[in-house]
Amino acid sequence: MADKLNAQKSVKIAAGAVVCVESEIRGDVTIGTRTVVHPKARIIAEAGPIVIGEGNLIEEQALIINSYPENITPDSEVEPKTMTIGTNNVFEVGCADVGRNVILTSGCIIGAFCQVNTCEVIPENTVIYGSGCMRRVQTERPQPQTLQLDFLMKILPNYHHLKKTIKASHTT
């Protein structure tokens, strides 16, 4: 059990990603290239690794957490389940993507302050917006985020320090 808990607590950041130092990344997280993580975003992999794909945009105060299910205490045996976040997703300010069973595919936009606590696969090109209730709109094409990503990748390094890949240091 100790092996499982201590295995690979590293953050792997690919070469083209822009991850600000002020963001909080804990646990086993892999971040793909061309992903931008704003300061004060939180990616917490408690109960398993999180794999974030390419071209994602994670804004301030967003929370992506792979947490333990509620009724199981952390000490007991829990299968570490990987949380996958696909490509070209946008996590707007203050949203929370909580849970081990949410699988985000590509092109999704989780609007500001929306909580995604469900156990489901969110289909492609979904937009979740609105206060209170979760509402979804299927758009017909993925969002043209390239402009915004390029802009941010140029501007953010001017004002923030960036995190580089931490070499994997524990092996048990």
Q: Where does this chain bind another protein (CB under 8 A)?
A: 109, 111, 126-127, 129-130, 135-141, 143
| Closer to another protein by Cβ: residue 4 or 136 | 136
- We find the least distance from the C-beta atom of residue 138 to another protein, in angstroms, to be 5
Distance CA 162, CA 31 (A): 13
| Closer to another protein by Cβ: residue 17 or 104 | 104
| Closer to another protein by Cβ: residue 23 or 89 | 89
58 CB neighbour count, 10 Å cutoff: 28
Q: Which tokens in the block code for residue 37?
A: 């993580």
- We find the least distance from the C-beta atom of residue 129 to another protein, in angstroms, to be 5
| Closer to another protein by Cβ: residue 135 or 161 | 135
Neighbouring residues of 16: CB distance < 8 A, sequence distance ≥ 6: 33, 34, 153
137 CB neighbour count, 10 Å cutoff: 11
145 CB neighbour count, 10 Å cutoff: 19
In single-letter form, the type of residue at position 167 comes to: K
- We find the least distance from the C-beta atom of residue 167 to another protein, in angstroms, to be 39
Q: Which tokens in the block code for residue 169?
A: 């240091």
Q: Give kind and range of the element (H or E) at residue 4.
A: helix 2-6
- We find the least distance from the C-beta atom of residue 109 to another protein, in angstroms, to be 6
19 CB neighbour count, 10 Å cutoff: 26
- We find the least distance from the C-beta atom of residue 135 to another protein, in angstroms, to be 7
| Closer to another protein by Cβ: residue 132 or 172 | 132
